Amino acid sequence: MAKFRDVDVPDLRGRRALVTGASDGIGLELARRLAAAGADLVLPFRTPAKGAAALARLRAGSPGATITSLPLDLASQASVRRAAEELLEADRDIDLLIANAGIMTPPAHILTEDGFELQMATNHLGHAAFIGRLFPLLRRSRTRITSVSSAAAGSGRVDPADLRGTGGYAPVRAYGASKLAQLLFALELDRRSRAHGWGVVSNAAHPGTVYTNLYSAGPNLGRAKPSPVAGVMRTLSRAGVFVQTPRAGALPALLAATRPEAGGGRFYGPDGPGHFTGSAAEQRIYRSARDPELAARVWEATLQATGVDIPDTEEARR
């Protein structure tokens, strides 16, 4: 395995962190590192059994950690609303929020109960709606939000007029669109926060190429035979070629979420050749995500699609 510089996570005792997609892979590693640094954790899970297994592992590794969970299916706007309402009712500050959960390249065009393409629904719209519905709490908490995008955003194309993803389907293209939308929204959130004095810090990260169940869960949806993708990734991971472990893949998001020097409106990823692997470092934002007009259009289209409001007025300051 290639060597990499670790991220020195500051003391997080007394701080509360929420991580989506923490049942395994990068999310579980992020939760593990945050718990080890003393943070109280809030972990939303879609699948109760996987969530329970993850909680057991985290509590075994950090016996003194305070860890709570709640149900959340990012592909369901109703589930997003219920989870946000539960957190708003609890009325406890959230200092860090890492939007990590995702799905990648299911072979079939799957529409959610809300009529959204599954990847756009999970990777972008679900997270955006969750952030939007939690906005009064995040504003009060001056939360640092890190969105885990993907290198696929660099070649992605997104049409703000079709965030539902109804205009034809190709698995890789839809994945890139969802991750670019997520990145654009994260950057626009930080721009608007600075412009309107919200106090929220929003940045983004990508993990490089990491072998996790992302390469089997999505590609195998609806297939009679297993996709060969997971086998290829497993072979590359064992050989240490172009693929790194979840431990290394979590570092860019860990840096973005916890280090004081990691500012808002920035993008972090591995520093190795092609940014497939390596140590965490700030990276140049992809050309596809440097269009402020596109970011504003994605912002407005996202709020319209999800029915969530993040006002640019005095109401946002209260």
Q: Tell me which of 221 and 77 has the higher pLDDT.
A: 77
In the predicted model, what is the mean pLDDT of residues 163-187?
Answer: 94
pLDDT at residue 166, as a whole number: 79
pLDDT tier, 241 (very low <50, low <70, confident <90, very high otherwise): low
**Is 184 within a domain?**
yes
Q: What is d(CA 121, CA 115) in angstroms, rounded to the nearest whole number?
A: 9
The SS3 of residue 283 is strand
Domain residue limits at 228: 16-308
Work out the mean pLDDT of the chain and round it to a whole number: 91
**Is 238 within a domain?**
yes
| pLDDT over threshold 50, residue 239 | no
The count of structural domains within the chain is 1
Please confirm, yes or no, whether 215 is among the known catalytic residues. Answer: no
Q: What is d(CA 218, CA 179) in angstroms, rounded to the nearest whole number?
A: 15
Most confident by average pLDDT, 205-214, 215-224, 244-253: 244-253
**Is 4 within a domain?**
no
CB environment 43-62: b (16+ within 10 A), e (fewer) = bbbbeeeebeebbeebeeeb
**Is 217 within a domain?**
yes
What one-character-per-residue DSSP string does 211-257 give?
-STHHHHTTTTT-SS--SHHHHHHHHHHHTSS-B-HHHHTHHHHHHH
- The percent of residues above 90 in pLDDT, for the chain, comes to 84
What is the torsional sign of CA 163, 289, 177, 84? negative
CA torsion, points 307, 308, 314, 318, in degrees to nearest 10? 140
Q: How far is CA 243 from CA 24, 30, 218, in A?
A: 17, 18, 18
| pTM of the complete model | 0.91
In the predicted model, what is the mean pLDDT of residues 268-278?
Answer: 93
pLDDT at residue 221, as a whole number: 54
pLDDT at residue 211, as a whole number: 77
In the predicted model, what is the mean pLDDT of residues 279-286?
Answer: 97
**Is 154 within a domain?**
yes
Strand partners, 16: 40
Q: What is d(CA 148, CA 145) in angstroms, rounded to the nearest whole number?
A: 10
- 276 burial via Cβ count (<10 Å: 0-12, 13-18, 19+): middle
Residues 6+ apart with CB under 8 A from 318: none
| pLDDT over threshold 80, residue 190 | yes
Q: What is d(CA 293, CA 193) in angstroms, rounded to the nearest whole number?
A: 17
Q: What is d(CA 91, CA 3) in angstroms, rounded to the nearest whole number?
A: 42
CATH of the domain at 176: 3.40.50.720
**Is 317 within a domain?**
no
Q: What is d(CA 273, CA 279) in angstroms, rounded to the nearest whole number?
A: 11
Residue with tokens 């939303």: 44
pLDDT at residue 175, as a whole number: 97
| pLDDT over threshold 50, residue 31 | yes
**Is 113 within a domain?**
yes
| pLDDT over threshold 50, residue 220 | no
**Is 10 within a domain?**
no
Which of 169, 175, 215, 286 does the annotation list as catalytic?
175
pLDDT tier, 165 (very low <50, low <70, confident <90, very high otherwise): confident
